[in-house]
């Protein structure tokens, strides 16, 4: 009963479209936030009331952890929820989604971007492919996200299927747009990443477009998310995968200083 209540409460919170990204960051990582907040409260309280010469160390430790939590929440708000335009809105704009008839959305269970893309795509065929593999994606935050994510509610039919990086259930040369929103970094095995990009190249029409949003493993993301940035990959890693799959970059830009947005096409020179 307690688990169901927790999931229902989380679903209600995650239904807030204006602050979905920020709320999701906290909920998906709530044990980390709760533990860090508890540590900060205890150390700061001891630093204030305990008369020891090293009380400054307690205050500094508690304040530092509290400051790190604040930076993570602020960074999440800036990247995911700040302003009128979201990252998926920008990719829709760059990728000419309005001209697409077949859209494939790759996910590991998080549906923020899916809801955003669907708000722009009213016609044609929409395929939601879940590539989650618990044996290869052990991240507890991802598992918690899958448990807490509210059901996808759409006013139109969506084809929901499962797939593997080396075997996506979509015909050859059939897809206008493939959307990957913050899911590809969950594929930690480089062979699996190579396989899924080969599948993207197989599925895309000659004029098709691959839209990707991924954090970078750089100093900006380390400053914003701390050790969590180790789960991301560098822009160079993705560029290598594009090249191996004979995909060329049509457009690349940094979103809010922390995210790489890519529009990728088949390399017509090969």
Alpha helices for 77-189 (secondary structure H): 87-94, 112-118, 140-148
Residue reference for tokens 């897809």 = 175
> What are the pLDDT digits (tens) for 124-136?
999 999 999 999 9
Residue 154 has pLDDT above 60, yes or no: yes
Q: With a threshold of 0.75, does the pTM exceed it? A: yes
DSSP label at 173? T
The count of other CB atoms within 10 Å of the CB of residue 48 is 11
Q: How far apart are the first and last CA of the chain?
A: 58
Domains for the chain: give ranges and CATH numbers.
2-81 (no CATH), 87-266 (3.40.50.150)
Whether residue 126 contacts residue 170, with contact meaning beta carbons closer than 8 Å, is answered with: no
What tens digit of pLDDT does each residue of 213-237 get? Answer: 999 999 999 999 999 999 999 999 9
């Amino acid at each position: 009963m307690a688990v169901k209540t927790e999931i229902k409460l989380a679903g209600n919170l995650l239904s807030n479209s204006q602050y979905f990204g920020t709320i999701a960051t906290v909920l998906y990582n709530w044990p980390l936030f709760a533990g860090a907040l508890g540590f900060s409260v205890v150390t700061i309280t001891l630093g204030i009331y305990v008369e020891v010469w090293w009380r400054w160390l307690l205050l500094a430790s508690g304040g530092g952890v509290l400051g790190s939590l604040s930076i993570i929440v602020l960074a999440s708000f800036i990247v995911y929820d700040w302003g009128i335009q979201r990252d998926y809105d920008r990719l829709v704009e760059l990728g000419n989604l309005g001209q697409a008839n077949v859209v494939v959305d790759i996910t590991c269970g998080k549906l923020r971007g899916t809801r955003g893309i669907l708000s722009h795509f009213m016609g044609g065929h929409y395929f939601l492919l879940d590539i989650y593999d618990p044996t290869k994606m052990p991240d507890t935050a991802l598992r918690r996200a899958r448990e807490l994510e509210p059901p996808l509610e759409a006013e139109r039919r969506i084809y929901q299927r499962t797939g593997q990086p080396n075997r996506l259930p979509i015909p050859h040369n059939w897809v206008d747009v493939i959307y990957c929103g913050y899911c590809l970094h969950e594929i930690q095995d480089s062979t699996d990443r190579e396989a899924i990009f080969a599948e993207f190249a197989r599925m895309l029409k000659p004029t098709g477009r691959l839209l990707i949003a991924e954090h970078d493993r750089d100093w900006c993301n380390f400053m914003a998310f701390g050790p969590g940035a180790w789960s991301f990959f560098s822009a160079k890693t993705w560029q290598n995968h594009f090249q191996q799959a004979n995909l060329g970059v049509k457009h690349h830009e940094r979103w809010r200083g922390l995210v790489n947005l890519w529009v990728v096409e088949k390399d017509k020179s090969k």
